[in-house]
Chain A
Amino acid sequence: MARTPDAITDRILRWSGVAVFLLLWETAPRAGWVDPYFAPPFSAVLGAFGRLAAEGTLASHLLISAWRGLSGLAVAVAVGVPAGFLLGRHSPRAGEALEPLLRLLSQVNPFTLLPLFLLFFGIGETAKIAVIGWVSLWPILFYTVTGARTVDPLLVKTARSLGVNGGGLCRTVLLPGALPTLFTGVRIGAGLVFFMLVAAEMLGANAGVGWLVHNSAMNFQIPRLYAGAVAIVFLGYALNRGLLTLEQALFAWREAPSEAVTGRAARHVLRPGKGGAALAAALLILLFVAGGWEVRRVNLAAVSGGHSHHGKHSLPTPERIEEEKQLEQDLNGWEPFTDGGKGK
């Protein structure tokens, strides 16, 4: 796609809000408008961010969080999509009968479930993945039901007239027909995953971006806290962009909104096509595998009583020593559950 001057202006305009915000963030603490201890200037946050990145711990936290988020999402898709087709298409009467119950369940606040899930599944990864899966399940389930119900009946009729039934019908007509709606559910679910992920990592984890923020707050490492928050923003934004790219690639066959509807000249939409979809999928899988490996490594290290990964490669600065001491304390407590000792 050629960049015309117009496109460049457009880009600058789109990001100018972010630029102004960052500028304010930098100047406000320096000018003394806010307490620089609680709101350090952006450059200090960047410094902390840079240190974390240089240590390699940031990548580790991001990988671990991404893995947890993706696992939870995968569980939700694995449960929600078949269940959605079952309730929306296969037995719509059961779907109608169960709808009030499902709506009620979907309203259960996942934060209240977190302690319950910890009781049921223990403090390992299962509880976190379960609660993340729980929150993202509902939009995926409901959107799949809607998608399955609203597949064009003429398409079903056409396929049926060729003797296509059951699994074949599902694969050739129902799934592709419901996919755009279903995917919207996945995207909404992915957004919720992030809220829940951070919360779950704050309550019971020894790594991950949520843990990074929580741990920094507990240790009054304010710039590091902000760096963690920025990392969460970055991760969420990247996941959303990735899903959007995947969506555009998968549904390139959809009608672009016409000029008459938008009231603006049609903008060139990047259509990554099959290559883009394959790339996005490959990236997701890579992220998943690398994250799984990292989680395993960190958890093993924690269980074997060794120090967890953070700070391994860095020089022992005073704050680092303090942090390690804190960690030791936590580990010697009851589990590799780092804030276990902090409830006092």
Chain B
Amino acid sequence: MATLASPSETPVLPKIEVKELNRIYQLKRSKGGAASEFIALKNINLEVRDGEFLALVGPSGCGKSTLLDILAGLAFPSSGAAYIDGKKITGPALDRGIVLQGYALFPWRTVRRNVEFGLEVKKVPKGERRDISSRFIKLVGLEGFEDRYPHELSGGMKQRVAIARALAYDPEVLLMDEPFAAVDAQTREVLQDELLRIWGETKKTIVFVTHSIEEAVFLADRVAVLTANPGTLKEVVPINLPRPRHTGDIRSSAEFGWVRHKIWELLQNRPEEVPTRHSGVPVAEAISPTAAL
């Protein structure tokens, strides 16, 4: 994965490409009044490279989840299009796996049968299904829990099952919609480390939606910053922090703080006011801009 960030990489076809994409919702007015529009996404252009970890950050209402749904083929753009491997996305398919915030595990299926769900859809034979599910249950560290039902698991374990389920049918892209938002802070850090390890082992392309700047900076190769009303892509910030990141306390490094602050500034949406807001920023961040990125 170190090669991904290296500038010597030869330009190849992007894994995912979003071109001039708009998503407009027609809001119904009371009778007589004109129908008004809500622009959820406005002129989004974005590329995700093969094997890249891209994070989408933004406030609620910026359309980041809508964008993810469009990539998953579950929602459709009003104009423009999204492409995967150069092919226009017209609906859901097994080349993309999704992981949602609410785990979305089938409560009537055991851990193993949840992980095997996509394999059943793919019509993988039973014996092979078992081998694959065992492998992915091991990958997410849930050996011995194969026959448990979701209600017998903690939040963090449920999310591990959801990740294993999304990986098991071998999609090329993993779409994750605030997957760690519902778990406690310690579990979240553990899951973030685990995700980076899994990403390293499986070499998937990951698009990761979050509202946590820190999470985005810690995980991603690049962070796409979206702002709301209308949802626009403000900037894509490359994160050149060294990998592996889960060793050592990278979160307290000056570089980390600087990037985090830069994205925070971008999210303020009113750059001219930013200098006056420095008083509200932790001291470590206020002094870190001097550090080289």
Distance from A276 Cβ to chain B, minimum over Cβ atoms (Å) = 16
| A residues near B121, Cβ cutoff 8 Å | 162-164, 168
A161 B72 Cβ-Cβ under 8 A: yes
| A residues near B100, Cβ cutoff 8 Å | 154, 157-158
| A residues near B108, Cβ cutoff 8 Å | 176-177, 179, 251, 253
B92 A152 Cβ-Cβ under 8 A: no
In the assembled complex, A259 has its CB within 8 A of some CB on chain B: no
In the assembled complex, A160 has its CB within 8 A of some CB on chain B: yes
| B residues near A162, Cβ cutoff 8 Å | 92, 94, 117-118, 121, 169
Closest A residue by C-beta to B165: A158
A160→B117 CA distance, assembly (Å): 12
Among B91, B108, B109, the most chain A Cβ lie within 10 Å of the Cβ of B108
In the assembled complex, B13 has its CB within 8 A of some CB on chain A: no
B59-117 CB contacts (< 8 Å) to partner A: 72-74, 91-94, 96-98, 100, 102-104, 106-110, 117
A155 B106 Cβ-Cβ under 8 A: yes
In the assembled complex, B149 has its CB within 8 A of some CB on chain A: yes
| A residues near B102, Cβ cutoff 8 Å | 154
A163→B151 CA distance, assembly (Å): 26
Q: Which of B92, B106, B150 contacts A161 (CB 8 A)?
A: B92
B151 A152 Cβ-Cβ under 8 A: no
A163→B149 CA distance, assembly (Å): 24
A160→B149 CA distance, assembly (Å): 22
In the assembled complex, A190 has its CB within 8 A of some CB on chain B: no
Distance from B285 Cβ to chain A, minimum over Cβ atoms (Å) = 36
A160-189 CB contacts (< 8 Å) to partner B: 160-164, 168, 172-173, 176-177, 179
Given known contacts A155-B106, A161-B96, A163-B94, what 20 new A-B pairs fall within 8 Å (CB)?
A: A152-B104, A154-B102, A154-B103, A154-B104, A155-B104, A158-B98, A159-B117, A161-B92, A161-B97, A162-B92, A162-B118, A162-B169, A163-B91, A163-B92, A168-B121, A176-B108, A177-B108, A179-B108, A252-B149, A253-B110
B107 A253 Cβ-Cβ under 8 A: yes
Q: Which of B74, B103, B118 contacts A160 (CB 8 A)?
A: B74
A176 B94 Cβ-Cβ under 8 A: no
Among A154, A159, A253, the most chain B Cβ lie within 10 Å of the Cβ of A253
Q: Residues on B close to A: CB < 8 A?
A: 72-74, 91-94, 96-98, 100, 102-104, 106-110, 117-118, 120-121, 149-151, 169
A254 B151 Cβ-Cβ under 8 A: yes
A157 B104 Cβ-Cβ under 8 A: yes
| A residues near B97, Cβ cutoff 8 Å | 161
> Would A173 and B92 be within 8 Å (CB), given that A162-B117, A163-B121, A253-B151 are in contact?
no
A162→B95 CA distance, assembly (Å): 9
Distance from A257 Cβ to chain B, minimum over Cβ atoms (Å) = 11
A163 B106 Cβ-Cβ under 8 A: no
In the assembled complex, A255 has its CB within 8 A of some CB on chain B: yes
Closest A residue by C-beta to B120: A172
A114-170 CB contacts (< 8 Å) to partner B: 152, 154-155, 157-164, 168
A32→B93 CA distance, assembly (Å): 80
| A residues near B91, Cβ cutoff 8 Å | 163
| Contact residues on A (Cβ < 8 Å of other chain), bracket | 20 to 34
| B residues near A251, Cβ cutoff 8 Å | 108
A-B pairs with beta carbons under 8 A, tally: 56
Q: Which of A157, A176, A254 contacts B106 (CB 8 A)?
A: A176
Mask of A43-81 contacts with B, CB within 8 angstroms, 1/0: 000000000000000000000000000000000000000
A254 B118 Cβ-Cβ under 8 A: no
A sample of 29 cross-chain residue pairs with beta-carbon separation below 8 angstroms, ordered by A number, consists of A152-B104, A154-B102, A154-B103, A154-B104, A155-B104, A157-B74, A157-B98, A158-B98, A158-B100, A158-B104, A161-B72, A161-B92, A161-B96, A162-B117, A162-B118, A162-B169, A163-B91, A163-B92, A163-B94, A164-B121, A177-B108, A179-B108, A251-B108, A253-B108, A253-B109, A253-B110, A253-B149, A253-B150, A254-B107
| A residues near B118, Cβ cutoff 8 Å | 162
Mask of A238-261 contacts with B, CB within 8 angstroms, 1/0: 000000000000011111000000
A161→B102 CA distance, assembly (Å): 15
A160 B92 Cβ-Cβ under 8 A: yes
| B residues near A168, Cβ cutoff 8 Å | 121
Distance from B76 Cβ to chain A, minimum over Cβ atoms (Å) = 13
| B residues near A255, Cβ cutoff 8 Å | 151
A163→B89 CA distance, assembly (Å): 13
Distance from A168 Cβ to chain B, minimum over Cβ atoms (Å) = 8
B93 A163 Cβ-Cβ under 8 A: yes
A173→B104 CA distance, assembly (Å): 11
| B residues near A254, Cβ cutoff 8 Å | 107, 151
A253→B104 CA distance, assembly (Å): 15
Distance from A164 Cβ to chain B, minimum over Cβ atoms (Å) = 6
| B residues near A172, Cβ cutoff 8 Å | 117, 120
A163→B98 CA distance, assembly (Å): 12
A254→B117 CA distance, assembly (Å): 19
Closest B residue by C-beta to A164: B121
| A residues near B151, Cβ cutoff 8 Å | 253-255
A44→B100 CA distance, assembly (Å): 66
A177→B104 CA distance, assembly (Å): 12
A158→B107 CA distance, assembly (Å): 13
Distance from A33 Cβ to chain B, minimum over Cβ atoms (Å) = 53
Closest B residue by C-beta to A173: B106
| B residues near A164, Cβ cutoff 8 Å | 121
Distance from B92 Cβ to chain A, minimum over Cβ atoms (Å) = 5
Closest A residue by C-beta to B99: A158
| B residues near A252, Cβ cutoff 8 Å | 149
| B residues near A154, Cβ cutoff 8 Å | 100, 102-104
Among B73, B96, B107, B120, the most chain A Cβ lie within 10 Å of the Cβ of B107
| A residues near B103, Cβ cutoff 8 Å | 154
Distance from B203 Cβ to chain A, minimum over Cβ atoms (Å) = 21
A161→B93 CA distance, assembly (Å): 7
